[in-house]
Structure 1
């Protein structure tokens, strides 16, 4: 142990060039540490808060149009609040819902994907829904939301009534919904087994007027 008696002579710190260099280095390291600590505090105070996450329902597997959602078809996932679309489904509205369009595994489920969702969701402003008759039952059964159709109207001689050909009155219109028999009766005013079925398509008002004028004379073709 060092002798701490009063007789111990006081030794001043070394004052040579090496000692002064060491003191300067120590002061510099101390200053650098204080600056780094202050910078860390500033960054922490200015950093934005972590984005909030909200629960959503996503598909557990690829699902086709017409699928009836069950508990095994969906799971809860967390998504950043700013990335969640409008109209997300909740368990009460998801279970038993019928898909109006295909859904990929992991896709967030919204009301626009179901047959009970908004009919014109995502369509341009001013778009209206119009009914188009589809005579061929096989063709009608193959249609689904998202399919594009051309609509032709049969023409005839105004005097004899003989068929003279057809004119295209709508090009590339999008199928919105293929109503079931019950929907045909309530929405389109026809019994399920009365004449040709109809599908609902998205068109502009002028095209809707042409489709209405050609009712009973239309033929549809499917675009690739």
Structure 2
């Protein structure tokens, strides 16, 4: 390739020749490496995460949660809903939860349920007709009526109360006495007193608006 030159010079020229042929490829590779390094330097750090409990499947209101109903996942801290439940197994759902949805305290029957209705009092109400309870859904707005078992007369004891939790697996039809079914509603503090008093001497029923 380079006749008349000493072997060492020929090898040196061959190397230079190969470098000139490949310098574009080398330059492009170095430029790509520089861009990649710059992007990594400018990229924001990964977001902070917190562990939350999410529903492993669609769960209806009234479900008694088991370990197989829940999955713990890392969730972006800034997107995690306030009041995310840390422990939920063994608790009862006050409202339906969709698959992958974070389980929060306001979805569970218990003290946190009051947060679903700020300024309201959470009251359990026993309906003598369990079948009526199965018609209710969390979020329904109903009136509570008290019926005197002796005279059959009815009166309104609480209007526009919000249903917060309903039972599941209850038998249909009137049960009376200690039977029936419990539902949880949100009322004003004054109405809560009236409802509690009426529940001792009257049958409570609901009517829809």
Task: Settle same-fold status: TM greater than 0.5.
Answer: yes
Deviates more, 1:51-60 or 1:145-154: 145-154
Helix, strand or coil for the counterpart of 1:94? coil
Helix, strand or coil for the counterpart of 2:125? strand
Question: What is the alpha-carbon distance in structure 2 between the residues aligned to residue 219 and residue 140 of structure 1?
Answer: 11
Find the partner of 1:132 among 119, 125, 128: 125
Compute the displacement of 1:117 (Å): 5.3
TM score, norm. by length of structure 1: 0.56
Question: What is the alpha-carbon distance in structure 1 between the residues aligned to residue 90 and residue 198 of structure 2?
Answer: 37
Compute the displacement of 1:205 (Å): 1.7
CA contact (8 A) 1:148 1:222 kept: no
Return closer, same or farther for 1:77/1:212 CA change in 2, 3 Å cut-off.
closer
Helix, strand or coil for the counterpart of 1:119? helix
Alignment partner of 1:221 is 2:206: yes
**Corresponding residue number in structure 1 for 2:93:** 99
Q: Which runs of 4+ in 1 moved over 6 A?
A: none
Question: What is the alpha-carbon distance in structure 1 between the residues aligned to residue 71 and residue 164 of structure 2?
Answer: 27
Structure of larger gyration radius: 1
Question: What is the alpha-carbon distance in structure 2 between the residues aligned to residue 212 and residue 73 of structure 1?
Answer: 34
Return closer, same or farther for 1:132/1:72 CA change in 2, 3 Å cut-off.
closer
Question: What is the alpha-carbon distance in structure 1 between the residues aligned to residue 121 and residue 160 of structure 2?
Answer: 15
Question: What is the alpha-carbon distance in structure 2 between the residues aligned to residue 193 and residue 99 of structure 1?
Answer: 26
Question: What is the alpha-carbon distance in structure 1 between the residues aligned to residue 198 and residue 177 of structure 2?
Answer: 21
Q: How many aligned residue pairs are there? A: 164
Question: What's the Cα RMSD here?
Answer: 3.8
Find the partner of 1:172 among 147, 160, 185: 160
Compute the displacement of 1:175 (Å): 2.6
Helix, strand or coil for the counterpart of 2:192? helix
Helix, strand or coil for the counterpart of 1:121? helix
Deviations 1:7-60 (A, max 9, x none): xxxxxxxxxxxxxxxxxxxxxxxxxxxxxx9xx89x94xx86543122222112
Helix, strand or coil for the counterpart of 2:116? coil
CA contact (8 A) 2:124 2:184 kept: yes
Find the partner of 2:186 among 202, 212, 223: 202
The gaps in structure 1 that reach 5 residues or longer are: 1-36, 181-191
TM score, norm. by length of structure 2: 0.59
Q: Aligned ranges for residues 1-224 of structure 1 at < 5 Å?
A: 44=42, 49-90=45-86, 93-116=87-110, 118-125=112-119, 127-143=120-136, 145-154=138-147, 165-177=153-165, 194=178, 198-215=182-199, 216-223=201-208
Question: What is the alpha-carbon distance in structure 2 between the residues aligned to residue 151 and residue 207 of structure 1?
Answer: 10
Helix, strand or coil for the counterpart of 1:100? coil
The gaps in structure 2 that reach 5 residues or longer are: 1-34, 169-175
